[in-house]
Amino acid sequence: MRKRLVFNAFEMNAVSHVYHGLWRHPANRQTSFNTLAFWTDLARTLERGRFDALFLADVVGIDKGHNGGRDTYFKEGIHLPANDPAILSAALIGATSNLGLMFTSSILQSHPFDFARRVSTLDHLSDGRIGWNIVTTTSRNAARNFGFDEPVAHDERYAWADEYVEVVYKLWEGSWEDGAVLNDPAAGGYANSSLIHEIGHRGQRYRVEGPHLSSPSPQRTPVLIQAGSSKAGRAFAARNAEATFVVCLTPEAARVAVNEIRRDVVAAGRDPSDLLFFQGLSFVIGSTEEEAWRKSRALDEYVSTDGLAAHVGRDLGIDFGRLDPERPVADYAIEGLRGFTQFFEEANPGRKARLIDLVTSMSYNGRIVGTPEQIADSLEAWQDAGIDGINVAYQTAPGSFVDVVDHLMPVLRARGLAQIEYAPGTLRERLFPGRPATLQGAHPATRYRRVAENASAALAATGRG
Amino acid sequence: MRKRLVFNAFEMNAVSHVYHGLWRHPANRQTSFNTLAFWTDLARTLERGRFDALFLADVVGIDKGHNGGRDTYFKEGIHLPANDPAILSAALIGATSNLGLMFTSSILQSHPFDFARRVSTLDHLSDGRIGWNIVTTTSRNAARNFGFDEPVAHDERYAWADEYVEVVYKLWEGSWEDGAVLNDPAAGGYANSSLIHEIGHRGQRYRVEGPHLSSPSPQRTPVLIQAGSSKAGRAFAARNAEATFVVCLTPEAARVAVNEIRRDVVAAGRDPSDLLFFQGLSFVIGSTEEEAWRKSRALDEYVSTDGLAAHVGRDLGIDFGRLDPERPVADYAIEGLRGFTQFFEEANPGRKARLIDLVTSMSYNGRIVGTPEQIADSLEAWQDAGIDGINVAYQTAPGSFVDVVDHLMPVLRARGLAQIEYAPGTLRERLFPGRPATLQGAHPATRYRRVAENASAALAATGRG
């Protein structure tokens, strides 16, 4: 029997996340993203299927990236409107009992003192089901929404991220010691002030006195997710992340990436198992392969290639709207397209990749079409390459997830690839069986705990130190 | 039949809000404030009683205000820990269908671009049940949690508040025109970019490009509450607030305050009915007056006078812990205590007010003890003085609210003083019957709408302008 994979639903509090154009599909209810009923229904479906978490992506700005403007983003609802994912996570706590709630928040958007309290509140109310996807934002519009003229330079952004997590670690881990809350009406009062500390942070960007406004939540620090792919981003993830999100083209490519990043984790003094790898995939499931491909072609009819080009181009910093989609990629010397070009031409011998082919295949990268058994075989290959979990993207919502829950999960469970029941405990305990609810080991957050310091002070005071 | 009063439950995402020491009462479940179950139960009780809203107070720092330190605040759980009220509001949306959710957020804690989206998301998910209690924070610790050395000076704080609301008004009212969302699969696409605007705000403290990340929510701008009592604070409320929160000592005092502030509202070019007045009160209800007083005395046994002194002293900027509570107030020349001293000595002829008397009576000010009929009589007097609604403080939660719902509300309903059923629509439509869901008239937020401008442009384009 295999080790189980982690499954997250990869979503966004928006009209169109990955498969642009599909918002027009009559079975897609994602256009109801403004309503709680849509999300409650989705969350309950995921919990029924024993998904580990709802993973909410986010943006805090939309650049003028396609045909020099934003029209395509609005027309196709691509990441705009985009509502707040932390508020949505809060709204789903009561509708679920076990589902993890992982949301994205940029260091650009919130002051860490306020952010830390929002997260602690979420973690308290959910009994420890919260994960934070840490992002540093590169968007120019996002920068300009928060008072900057231009995005902060790359390396400086990660120095900023380092300070940001330092502040929140101090608040979550270093401000209230274990045992600070007494809740003892008879004698001790509600809390013991000698175990509650100001943090006195004075750094490059932030000065934060403290103490933290919330008492320690079940996980203290939420499960930390980070998906930076640059050198500085990967180093940050190696030091801080407990899960990282990759979108590799093949299991073989994943194996290389996973091994490389795990080496960085070890170099950062952590255990290689301290970091989980989530691969982004999506599924079109049929009872036969033919049926699956028929479904896939039917979905394709709704695809907006203009929307896909706008999204992919934005991520690559290329305005595809100004290039001819029918021309071979080779005509444009674009460094960011080399890997995809090679991948496409190997998969389609004798064909020269055109821009349109690339946009389509890049966006569709990670879509697996087949029977549940075929998909299970493929997932085994991803697992063998070192992948710990899957971020499942949808074509229609909740439809794509209902298909996974009803048709794929039973086959995966029979192979041990999916969990049959939720384990008890917090999100962290479920993702890392056998470990406690709070961060342990060489994680930098643990450095701010005062337990040891006070324990030794107490020992010294009793003359036993 | 009388006009109904508005009823809000006055709460805080904390252990102890107003009646300090009562957290020790065996019937008080407020110490479970970290759990969703406590709040869900409370919210359902309020909705059963047709309360208009849950009003959540907040702080973002705790000063060293009692005996030179914070010990009493921790020991008595006074406003610390204090969890995030917006996250709590989000978590209660699904547990309720009609209850308004009014939460406090300081201009100090969140960037207005991010805050505006959180509010829009809340307003979308709740179908328009959100209110924002705007505060400018005077706490030194709060300032130091957000990078300042000292609190921003008073008048400057209101200049800041003016710019803060200007930014969020631009985002809520001026960025997406009505009709910008098409959600039209066949022809127009999801949104019409020509009706979505950057806001291009460039002010003293903020530069915000936009557009707003959320499409217009049911109320666009949430119901605005503001309770500043200084000259600048009252002028801000007169311009911006739709409800203000007062804690007057008597209906007569309320009449003076209400008339004065309504004059300011008119001077600001608004209709006097544009601003509602909520008086803070609490109730101890008995089937006879004797029973009510017996209950009141039993509650009093749990009161922490040290806790009350710490709270009141903090609000007045006086460290009561360093003064002798048994000495006459007159021995200390404290301007902020004059009104209360006079009030106490008039109510207790022949007694010289000691500090301890004052602390107790100031904290208990607005507690009405009696039968439902007696309380109803008293509420009529408050209404006659111009009060539109009551912010109901609790001694025990949810106990105090259960008493109000089960014993007071039926009597109030019989007199027309409380609503029998929720009216349809958003929170704003319920608070202002006959008015639409969005702000109207002379409110400054309406100034940022582009409807008129575009309508005339459209007329001009058709040659009919």
Going by pLDDT thresholds of 50, 70 and 90, the confidence category of residue B451 is low
Q: Are B325 and B360 in contact (CB under 8 A)?
A: no
A210, two tokens:
């403290």
Taking alpha carbons only, the member of B161, B118, B139, B131 closest to residue B10 is B131
Rounded to whole angstroms, the Cα distance separating B35 from B31 reads 9
Q: How many domains does chain B have?
A: 1
Taking alpha carbons only, the member of A8, A20, A56, A7 closest to residue A396 is A20
Taking alpha carbons only, the member of A56, A74, A57 closest to residue A65 is A74
Rounded to whole angstroms, the Cα distance separating A189 from B70 reads 13
Residues in chain A: 465
> Measuring CA to CA, how many Å separate B33 from each of A171, A189, B100, B196?
20, 16, 19, 41
Taking alpha carbons only, the member of B173, B308, B291, B158 closest to residue B234 is B158
DSSP B366-401: TEEEE-HHHHHHHHHHHHHTT--EEEEE-SSTTHHH
Please check whether residue A330 lies inside any domain of the structure: no
Please check whether residue B54 lies inside any domain of the structure: yes
Asked if the model's pLDDT at residue A174 lies above 60, the reply is: yes
Please check whether residue B320 lies inside any domain of the structure: no
Q: Give me the mean pLDDT over the B51-67 stretch.
A: 95
Buried b (16+ CB within 10 A) or exposed e, B374-391: bbbeebbebbebbbbbbb
Q: Give me the mean pLDDT over the B427-437 stretch.
A: 97
User: What distance in Å separates residue A331's CA from the closest CA in chain B?
Assistant: 32
Asked if the model's pLDDT at residue A460 lies above 80, the reply is: no
Which backbone phi and psi does A173 adopt, to 5 degrees?
A: -105, -30
Taking CB atoms and an 8 Å limit, are A125 and B91 in contact across chains?
Answer: yes
Spell out which residues of chain B touch residue A215, defining contact as CB-CB under 8 Å: 34, 81
pLDDT in tens, B367-380: 999 999 999 999 99
One-letter amino acid at A150 equals E
Of B83, B210, B213, which has the smallest distance from its Cβ to A117's Cβ?
Answer: B83
Taking CB atoms and an 8 Å limit, are B207 and A147 in contact across chains?
Answer: yes
User: Does residue A396 sit in helix, strand or coil?
Assistant: coil
Of A81, A95, A118, which has the smallest distance from its Cβ to B213's Cβ?
Answer: A81
Taking CB atoms and an 8 Å limit, are B15 and A190 in contact across chains?
Answer: yes
Task: Name the residue in chain A with its Cα closest to that of B58.
Answer: A213
Predicted pLDDT at A335: 78
Predicted pLDDT at A228: 77
Spell out which residues of chain A touch residue B191, defining contact as CB-CB under 8 Å: 74-75, 77, 80-81
Please check whether residue B42 lies inside any domain of the structure: yes
Rounded to whole angstroms, the Cα distance separating A98 from A114 reads 26
Please check whether residue A123 lies inside any domain of the structure: yes
User: What distance in Å separates residue A421's CA from the closest CA in chain B?
Assistant: 23
Task: Name the residue in chain B with its Cα closest to that of A122.
Answer: B87
Helices and strands in chain B, H and E counts = 17, 13
Asked if the model's pLDDT at residue B76 lies above 50, the reply is: yes
Known binding-site positions of A for FMN:
58, 104, 154, 158, 229-230
Asked if the model's pLDDT at residue B454 lies above 60, the reply is: no
Spell out which residues of chain A touch residue B211, defining contact as CB-CB under 8 Å: 62, 80
Asked if the model's pLDDT at residue B182 lies above 90, the reply is: yes
Taking alpha carbons only, the member of A46, A53, A81 closest to residue A398 is A46
User: Does residue B350 sit in helix, strand or coil?
Assistant: coil
Q: Which of A35-44, A183-192, A419-428 has the lowest mean pLDDT?
A: A183-192
pLDDT in tens, A112-154: 999 999 999 999 999 999 999 999 998 999 999 999 999 999 8
Please check whether residue B305 lies inside any domain of the structure: no
Predicted pLDDT at B143: 97
pLDDT in tens, A391-418: 999 999 999 999 999 999 999 999 999 9
Predicted pLDDT at B88: 98
Spell out which residues of chain A touch residue B208, defining contact as CB-CB under 8 Å: 144-147
B25, two tokens:
């009462």
Spell out which residues of chain A touch residue B207, defining contact as CB-CB under 8 Å: 144, 147
Known binding-site positions of B:
58, 104, 154, 158, 229-230
User: What distance in Å separates residue A72's CA from the closest CA in chain B?
Assistant: 9
Taking CB atoms and an 8 Å limit, are A207 and B144 in contact across chains?
Answer: yes
Rounded to whole angstroms, the Cα distance separating B56 from B102 reads 6
Predicted pLDDT at B463: 45
Q: Are B460 and B453 in contact (CB under 8 A)?
A: no
One-letter amino acid at B256 equals V
Taking CB atoms and an 8 Å limit, are B91 and A88 in contact across chains?
Answer: no
Going by pLDDT thresholds of 50, 70 and 90, the confidence category of residue A229 is confident
pLDDT in tens, B379-411: 999 999 999 999 999 999 999 999 999 999 999
Q: Are A43 and A95 in contact (CB under 8 A)?
A: yes
Spell out which residues of chain A touch residue B123, defining contact as CB-CB under 8 Å: none
Known binding-site positions of B for FMN:
58, 104, 154, 158, 229-230
Asked if the model's pLDDT at residue A461 lies above 70, the reply is: no
Taking CB atoms and an 8 Å limit, are B147 and A82 in contact across chains?
Answer: no
Asked if the model's pLDDT at residue A255 lies above 70, the reply is: yes
Predicted pLDDT at A453: 52
Task: Supply the DSSP symbol for A105.
Answer: E
Q: Are A77 and A32 in contact (CB under 8 A)?
A: no
Spell out which residues of chain A touch residue B145, defining contact as CB-CB under 8 Å: 113, 208-210
User: What distance in Å separates residue A213's CA from the closest CA in chain B?
Assistant: 5
Say how far residue A430 (Cα) sits from the centre of its chain: 16
Taking CB atoms and an 8 Å limit, are B36 and A121 in contact across chains?
Answer: no
Q: How far apart are the first and last CA of chain B?
A: 50
B245: part of which helix (H) or strand (E)?
strand B243-246
Of A126, A141, A209, which has the smallest distance from its Cβ to B144's Cβ?
Answer: A209
Please check whether residue B306 lies inside any domain of the structure: no
B323, two tokens:
């003064």
Taking CB atoms and an 8 Å limit, are A90 and B95 in contact across chains?
Answer: no
Going by pLDDT thresholds of 50, 70 and 90, the confidence category of residue A315 is confident
Asked if the model's pLDDT at residue A464 lies above 50, the reply is: no
Q: Are A390 and A283 in contact (CB under 8 A)?
A: no
> Measuring CA to CA, how many Å separate A276 from each of A57, A261, B22?
18, 10, 46
Predicted pLDDT at A156: 92
Residues 6+ apart with CB under 8 A from B440: B446
Going by pLDDT thresholds of 50, 70 and 90, the confidence category of residue B453 is low
Residues in chain B: 465
> What is the span of the domain harbouring residue A83?
6-288+371-461
Q: Give me the mean pLDDT over the A86-101 stretch.
A: 98
B121, two tokens:
């998301």
> Measuring CA to CA, how many Å separate A232 from each of A104, A156, A229, A444, B256?
19, 10, 8, 17, 63
User: What distance in Å separates residue B32's CA from the closest CA in chain A?
Assistant: 10
Predicted pLDDT at B345: 87
pLDDT in tens, A144-164: 999 999 999 988 999 999 999
One-letter amino acid at B132 equals W
Using a pLDDT cut of 90, give the percent of chain A over it: 78
Taking CB atoms and an 8 Å limit, are B111 and A113 in contact across chains?
Answer: no
Please check whether residue B314 lies inside any domain of the structure: no
Taking CB atoms and an 8 Å limit, are A31 and B190 in contact across chains?
Answer: yes
Which backbone phi and psi does A89 adopt, to 5 degrees?
A: -60, -45
A5, two tokens:
């994979």
Of A40, A60, A91, which has the smallest distance from its Cβ to B213's Cβ?
Answer: A60
Read off the CATH number of the domain in which B80 is found.
3.20.20.30
> Measuring CA to CA, how many Å separate B32 from each of A183, B16, B35, B384?
10, 11, 6, 38
Spell out which residues of chain B touch residue A114, defining contact as CB-CB under 8 Å: 60, 109-110, 146
User: What distance in Å separates residue B210's CA from the closest CA in chain A?
Assistant: 6
Asked if the model's pLDDT at residue A299 lies above 80, the reply is: yes
Taking alpha carbons only, the member of B57, B29, B59, B52 closest to residue B41 is B29
